Structure 1
Amino acid sequence: MWQALFSLTNAVALAAWLVLIAAPRRPLALSFVLYLGVGLLCLAYVAMAAALLAGWADPVRDAGLPAMNLSDYSVAGLKDAFRSEGAIVVGWTHYLALDLFTGLWIARDADAKGFTRAVQALVLLLTFLAGPAGLFLWLFVRERRARGPGGWTRKGKTPAG
Protein backbone atom coordinates (compact mmCIF):
# COMPACT_ATOMS: atom_id res chain seq x y z
CA MET A 1 0.00 0.00 0.00
CA TRP A 2 2.70 2.52 0.99
CA GLN A 3 4.74 1.86 -2.14
CA ALA A 4 1.66 2.50 -4.28
CA LEU A 5 0.93 5.76 -2.44
CA PHE A 6 4.59 6.77 -2.79
CA SER A 7 4.45 6.14 -6.54
CA LEU A 8 1.14 7.98 -6.90
CA THR A 9 2.26 11.08 -5.01
CA ASN A 10 5.49 11.18 -7.00
CA ALA A 11 3.55 10.95 -10.27
CA VAL A 12 1.26 13.82 -9.23
CA ALA A 13 4.22 15.97 -8.21
CA LEU A 14 6.19 15.20 -11.38
CA ALA A 15 3.23 16.04 -13.63
CA ALA A 16 2.70 19.34 -11.83
CA TRP A 17 6.41 20.22 -11.99
CA LEU A 18 6.48 19.48 -15.73
CA VAL A 19 3.53 21.81 -16.27
CA LEU A 20 5.10 24.47 -14.07
CA ILE A 21 8.48 24.38 -15.81
CA ALA A 22 7.53 23.65 -19.42
CA ALA A 23 3.94 24.76 -20.10
CA PRO A 24 2.88 28.31 -20.94
CA ARG A 25 1.86 30.14 -17.78
CA ARG A 26 -1.83 30.42 -18.45
CA PRO A 27 -4.48 30.47 -15.71
CA LEU A 28 -5.53 26.87 -16.41
CA ALA A 29 -1.96 25.58 -16.11
CA LEU A 30 -1.37 27.48 -12.87
CA SER A 31 -4.69 26.22 -11.49
CA PHE A 32 -3.67 22.68 -12.42
CA VAL A 33 -0.42 23.05 -10.47
CA LEU A 34 -2.14 24.64 -7.47
CA TYR A 35 -5.22 22.45 -7.13
CA LEU A 36 -4.39 19.15 -8.84
CA GLY A 37 -0.77 19.31 -7.75
CA VAL A 38 -0.34 21.10 -4.44
CA GLY A 39 -3.94 20.61 -3.29
CA LEU A 40 -4.04 16.91 -4.06
CA LEU A 41 -0.68 16.35 -2.36
CA CYS A 42 -1.91 18.24 0.72
CA LEU A 43 -5.08 16.15 0.80
CA ALA A 44 -3.04 12.94 0.48
CA TYR A 45 -0.76 14.11 3.28
CA VAL A 46 -3.65 14.87 5.63
CA ALA A 47 -5.42 11.58 4.86
CA MET A 48 -2.28 9.48 5.30
CA ALA A 49 -1.18 11.28 8.48
CA ALA A 50 -4.67 10.93 9.97
CA ALA A 51 -4.76 7.23 9.07
CA LEU A 52 -1.42 6.66 10.78
CA LEU A 53 -2.17 8.73 13.86
CA ALA A 54 -5.62 7.17 14.33
CA GLY A 55 -4.24 3.67 13.86
CA TRP A 56 -6.38 3.01 10.78
CA ALA A 57 -3.36 2.13 8.65
CA ASP A 58 -0.47 -0.18 9.41
CA PRO A 59 2.71 1.95 9.37
CA VAL A 60 4.74 -1.17 8.38
CA ARG A 61 7.55 -0.57 10.86
CA ASP A 62 10.87 -2.36 10.72
CA ALA A 63 10.61 -5.85 12.20
CA GLY A 64 10.82 -6.09 15.97
CA LEU A 65 10.26 -2.39 16.69
CA PRO A 66 7.66 -1.23 19.19
CA ALA A 67 4.90 1.16 18.18
CA MET A 68 5.91 4.74 17.39
CA ASN A 69 6.21 7.08 20.35
CA LEU A 70 4.96 10.35 18.89
CA SER A 71 5.48 12.20 22.17
CA ASP A 72 9.29 11.89 21.83
CA TYR A 73 10.07 15.02 19.85
CA SER A 74 13.83 14.67 19.62
CA VAL A 75 16.28 13.55 16.95
CA ALA A 76 16.16 10.04 18.39
CA GLY A 77 12.35 10.13 18.51
CA LEU A 78 12.07 11.32 14.90
CA LYS A 79 14.61 8.73 13.78
CA ASP A 80 12.51 6.06 15.43
CA ALA A 81 9.27 7.41 13.96
CA PHE A 82 10.66 7.34 10.43
CA ARG A 83 11.57 3.68 10.70
CA SER A 84 8.28 2.80 9.03
CA GLU A 85 7.07 2.88 5.45
CA GLY A 86 4.02 4.93 6.39
CA ALA A 87 5.98 7.69 8.12
CA ILE A 88 8.44 7.89 5.23
CA VAL A 89 5.66 8.24 2.66
CA VAL A 90 3.83 10.83 4.76
CA GLY A 91 7.06 12.78 5.28
CA TRP A 92 7.97 12.57 1.59
CA THR A 93 4.49 13.78 0.61
CA HIS A 94 5.01 16.73 2.96
CA TYR A 95 8.20 17.61 1.05
CA LEU A 96 6.52 17.18 -2.33
CA ALA A 97 3.58 19.45 -1.46
CA LEU A 98 5.62 22.26 0.09
CA ASP A 99 8.35 22.20 -2.55
CA LEU A 100 5.74 22.35 -5.32
CA PHE A 101 3.96 25.24 -3.60
CA THR A 102 7.32 27.00 -3.29
CA GLY A 103 7.99 26.40 -6.98
CA LEU A 104 4.60 27.84 -7.90
CA TRP A 105 5.30 30.95 -5.81
CA ILE A 106 8.74 31.32 -7.43
CA ALA A 107 7.24 31.01 -10.93
CA ARG A 108 4.51 33.57 -10.27
CA ASP A 109 6.97 35.94 -8.58
CA ALA A 110 9.51 35.55 -11.39
CA ASP A 111 6.84 36.19 -14.05
CA ALA A 112 5.72 39.33 -12.23
CA LYS A 113 9.30 40.56 -12.01
CA GLY A 114 10.12 39.91 -15.66
CA PHE A 115 12.60 37.04 -15.30
CA THR A 116 13.10 34.89 -18.38
CA ARG A 117 11.76 31.37 -18.47
CA ALA A 118 15.33 30.06 -18.86
CA VAL A 119 16.36 31.59 -15.51
CA GLN A 120 13.13 30.34 -13.97
CA ALA A 121 13.71 26.82 -15.30
CA LEU A 122 17.10 26.65 -13.61
CA VAL A 123 15.71 27.87 -10.27
CA LEU A 124 12.62 25.66 -10.52
CA LEU A 125 14.67 22.58 -11.37
CA LEU A 126 16.85 23.18 -8.32
CA THR A 127 13.71 23.68 -6.21
CA PHE A 128 12.31 20.41 -7.55
CA LEU A 129 15.52 18.54 -6.69
CA ALA A 130 16.43 20.27 -3.41
CA GLY A 131 13.62 22.61 -2.30
CA PRO A 132 15.38 24.93 0.14
CA ALA A 133 18.43 25.26 -2.14
CA GLY A 134 16.19 26.40 -5.02
CA LEU A 135 14.31 28.80 -2.77
CA PHE A 136 17.58 30.22 -1.48
CA LEU A 137 18.84 30.71 -5.05
CA TRP A 138 15.59 32.46 -5.98
CA LEU A 139 15.73 34.77 -2.96
CA PHE A 140 19.33 35.63 -3.82
CA VAL A 141 18.60 36.26 -7.53
CA ARG A 142 15.48 38.35 -6.89
CA GLU A 143 17.25 40.43 -4.23
CA ARG A 144 20.17 41.12 -6.59
CA ARG A 145 17.71 42.28 -9.25
CA ALA A 146 15.89 44.49 -6.74
CA ARG A 147 19.16 46.09 -5.61
CA GLY A 148 20.50 46.52 -9.15
CA PRO A 149 20.19 49.64 -11.30
CA GLY A 150 16.53 50.61 -11.49
CA GLY A 151 15.44 47.94 -9.01
CA TRP A 152 11.99 46.57 -9.82
CA THR A 153 11.13 49.56 -11.98
CA ARG A 154 12.96 47.96 -14.91
CA LYS A 155 10.60 46.88 -17.71
CA GLY A 156 7.72 48.59 -15.94
CA LYS A 157 7.85 46.25 -12.95
CA THR A 158 7.05 47.42 -9.44
CA PRO A 159 8.11 46.13 -6.02
CA ALA A 160 4.68 44.53 -5.45
CA GLY A 161 4.68 40.79 -4.86
Structure 2
Amino acid sequence: MNHELIFSLAGLMAMAGWAALLLSPLIPVWSDRIAGFAVPGILSAGYVVILFAFPAPSGGFGSFADVRELFSHADALIAGWIHFLAFDLLIGAWICRRGRQEGLPF
Protein backbone atom coordinates (compact mmCIF):
# COMPACT_ATOMS: atom_id res chain seq x y z
CA MET A 1 0.00 0.00 0.00
CA ASN A 2 1.33 3.44 -0.93
CA HIS A 3 0.85 5.38 2.29
CA GLU A 4 2.07 8.68 0.85
CA LEU A 5 -0.48 8.52 -1.97
CA ILE A 6 -3.32 7.63 0.40
CA PHE A 7 -2.23 10.40 2.79
CA SER A 8 -2.23 12.95 -0.05
CA LEU A 9 -5.57 11.84 -1.50
CA ALA A 10 -7.27 11.82 1.89
CA GLY A 11 -5.91 15.28 2.62
CA LEU A 12 -7.13 16.62 -0.72
CA MET A 13 -10.58 15.16 -0.12
CA ALA A 14 -10.76 16.72 3.33
CA MET A 15 -9.65 20.08 1.92
CA ALA A 16 -12.39 19.85 -0.70
CA GLY A 17 -14.88 19.35 2.13
CA TRP A 18 -13.53 22.35 4.02
CA ALA A 19 -13.67 24.41 0.80
CA ALA A 20 -17.35 23.45 0.48
CA LEU A 21 -17.88 24.76 4.02
CA LEU A 22 -16.21 28.03 3.06
CA LEU A 23 -18.71 28.31 0.22
CA SER A 24 -21.66 27.39 2.44
CA PRO A 25 -23.18 30.91 2.42
CA LEU A 26 -23.50 30.58 -1.36
CA ILE A 27 -24.40 26.87 -1.62
CA PRO A 28 -25.76 25.78 1.78
CA VAL A 29 -27.50 22.61 0.57
CA TRP A 30 -24.53 21.41 -1.47
CA SER A 31 -22.15 22.34 1.32
CA ASP A 32 -24.12 20.14 3.74
CA ARG A 33 -24.15 17.27 1.27
CA ILE A 34 -20.47 17.50 0.37
CA ALA A 35 -18.87 18.39 3.72
CA GLY A 36 -21.45 16.80 5.98
CA PHE A 37 -22.09 13.51 4.23
CA ALA A 38 -20.19 12.68 1.02
CA VAL A 39 -16.57 13.41 1.93
CA PRO A 40 -16.76 12.10 5.53
CA GLY A 41 -18.59 9.02 4.21
CA ILE A 42 -15.92 8.29 1.61
CA LEU A 43 -13.12 8.87 4.12
CA SER A 44 -14.86 6.67 6.68
CA ALA A 45 -15.28 3.89 4.13
CA GLY A 46 -11.56 4.11 3.36
CA TYR A 47 -10.80 3.97 7.08
CA VAL A 48 -12.87 0.81 7.51
CA VAL A 49 -11.29 -0.87 4.49
CA ILE A 50 -7.76 -0.14 5.72
CA LEU A 51 -8.66 -1.16 9.27
CA PHE A 52 -9.96 -4.59 8.24
CA ALA A 53 -7.76 -5.29 5.20
CA PHE A 54 -4.50 -4.39 6.95
CA PRO A 55 -4.86 -5.09 10.69
CA ALA A 56 -1.97 -4.06 12.91
CA PRO A 57 -0.01 -7.05 14.21
CA SER A 58 0.33 -5.53 17.70
CA GLY A 59 -0.88 -2.67 19.83
CA GLY A 60 -4.32 -1.62 20.96
CA PHE A 61 -6.21 0.90 23.07
CA GLY A 62 -5.75 -0.54 26.57
CA SER A 63 -2.89 1.73 27.61
CA PHE A 64 -0.71 4.52 26.29
CA ALA A 65 2.01 1.99 25.49
CA ASP A 66 -0.49 -0.08 23.48
CA VAL A 67 -1.61 2.96 21.49
CA ARG A 68 2.01 3.95 20.85
CA GLU A 69 2.71 0.42 19.61
CA LEU A 70 -0.41 0.42 17.44
CA PHE A 71 0.49 3.68 15.72
CA SER A 72 4.06 2.53 15.13
CA HIS A 73 2.56 0.53 12.23
CA ALA A 74 2.09 2.58 9.05
CA ASP A 75 -1.25 0.98 8.16
CA ALA A 76 -2.75 1.80 11.57
CA LEU A 77 -1.28 5.29 11.46
CA ILE A 78 -2.83 6.10 8.07
CA ALA A 79 -6.17 4.64 9.21
CA GLY A 80 -6.05 6.84 12.32
CA TRP A 81 -5.21 9.90 10.26
CA ILE A 82 -8.12 9.26 7.88
CA HIS A 83 -10.42 8.77 10.89
CA PHE A 84 -9.25 12.12 12.26
CA LEU A 85 -9.86 13.88 8.93
CA ALA A 86 -13.35 12.40 8.54
CA PHE A 87 -14.44 13.14 12.10
CA ASP A 88 -13.03 16.67 12.09
CA LEU A 89 -14.84 17.54 8.85
CA LEU A 90 -18.08 15.96 10.05
CA ILE A 91 -18.02 18.08 13.22
CA GLY A 92 -17.08 21.21 11.24
CA ALA A 93 -20.04 20.64 8.91
CA TRP A 94 -22.34 20.09 11.87
CA ILE A 95 -21.19 23.36 13.48
CA CYS A 96 -21.70 25.22 10.21
CA ARG A 97 -25.16 23.72 9.71
CA ARG A 98 -26.22 24.50 13.30
CA GLY A 99 -24.93 28.03 12.96
CA ARG A 100 -27.11 28.58 9.89
CA GLN A 101 -30.11 27.08 11.71
CA GLU A 102 -29.54 29.38 14.69
CA GLY A 103 -29.17 32.43 12.40
CA LEU A 104 -25.54 33.11 13.29
CA PRO A 105 -23.69 35.27 10.76
CA PHE A 106 -21.13 33.40 8.70
Question: What TM-score do you get using the length of structure 1 for normalisation?
Answer: 0.59
Amino acid paired to 1:6: F
Provide the C-alpha distance between the structure 2 equivalents of 1:87 and 1:69, rounded to a whole number of angstroms: 10
| Alpha-carbon distance, 1:73 to partner | 1.8
Per the alignment, in what secondary structure is the counterpart of residue 85 of structure 2?
helix
Q: Which residue in the other structure is 2:15 paired with?
A: 14
Residue of structure 1 equivalent to 2:99: 110
- The equivalent residue for 1:75 is 64
Residue 40 of structure 1: which of 42, 48, 51 is its match?
Answer: 42
Deviates more, 1:21-30 or 1:33-42: 21-30
Structure-2-length-normalised TM-score: 0.87
Q: Secondary structure at the match of 2:62?
A: coil
Shift of residue 75 of structure 1? 0.5
Aligned match of 1:155: none
Aligned residue in 2 for 1:121: none
For each residue in 1:14-72, what CA deviation from the matched residue of structure 2 results, as whole angstroms up to 9, or x when unmatched? 0100111234243223212233311111111111111122xxxxx6xxxxxxx4244x6
Larger radius of gyration: 1
- Higher relative contact order by CA 8 Å / sep ≥ 6: 1 or 2? 2
Q: Among the aligned pairs, what percent are the same residue? A: 27
Q: 5+ residue gaps in structure 2?
A: none
Q: How far apart, in 1, do the equivalents of 2:93 and 2:28 lie?
A: 13
Query: Residues of 2 paired with 1:77 and 1:26: CA distance?
Result: 42
Alignment: residue pair count:
104
**Residues 61-95 of structure 1 deviation map (CA, whole Å, 9 limit, x = unaligned):** xxxxxx4244x621101101111221111111111
Supply the RMSD in Å over aligned alpha carbons. 1.6
More off after superposition, 89-98 vs 23-32: 23-32
Residue in structure 2 matched with residue 50 of structure 1 by the alignment: 52
Aligned equivalents of 1:106, 1:69: Cα separation in 2: 34
